[in-house]
Amino acid sequence: MPEDVNEEIKRGRPMDLSRNQVILEATLTMLAEVGYDGLTIEAVATKAKVGKATIYRRWSSKEALVIDASASISPFKTLCQKLDFTKTLRDQLIDLLCFVFRGDHEHHQKALTAIGSAIPHNKELEKGLHNDFYQRHRRTIESIVNPFFKEGCELKQTDLDLLADIGPALITYRIFLIGKPFDRAYIERIVDTLMMPILTPLMKQE
């Protein structure tokens, strides 16, 4: 929850939390339609049918709003609830990348493309997305793979870093730099060709 929301609750002012998701979805819609540079708080407020003050009470800046909007596509707090831990490691990794990047949702892909195009020119946005996304994604990868390892085996930190990088790097390159959509089949190739070969030597024999 944004800090501004917590502060408002502490001051005893009632907060309609249902508006948060409406605002975040409006932000994603505007990003998909006009890009990051064209996005304004005023436009988001109009789209969400709220006042600008309602947004500024929750997010202190455009960058903070966009970071939370990006995270809302697949919130890590609920991501693990979506994963089926009875599936194979391969299938869980595929599901994870599909959930995180929503490969079946063209609207969200366009929003992510807009965010990605702004990152090289906005250090605050880049830092915020790194802290919010990368660290959570890395921890989620670690929690998925560890139960499949043989006793006494563990993943090197450098290999964990690589596993956490592979999926996001290729998907963001595909949508941000060459402007191509991706689907589940593309994610399956990433997992089968690049991720599983790192993990297979450490895994229990079924």
CA distance 147 to 144: 7
Structural fold of domain 74-202: Tetracycline Repressor; domain 2 (1.10.357)
Q: CATH class for domain 3-69?
A: mainly alpha
CA distance 44 to 54: 11
Domain limits, CATH 1.10.357.10, in the chain: 3-69, 74-202
Looking at per-residue confidence, does 68 or 103 come out higher?
A: 68
Cβ neighbours of 174 (radius 10 Å): 18
- For residue 122 the two structure tokens come to 């906005």
Encode pLDDT of 54-65 as tens digits.
Answer: 999 999 999 999
Q: Is the pTM of this model over 0.85?
A: no
> Which residue, chain included where needed, has tokens 């991720």?
195
Encode pLDDT of 106-115 as tens digits.
Answer: 778 788 888 8
> Which residue, chain included where needed, has tokens 């693990």?
80
Encode pLDDT of 129-158 as tens digits.
Answer: 877 778 888 889 999 999 999 999 999 999
Looking at per-residue confidence, does 73 or 111 come out higher?
A: 111
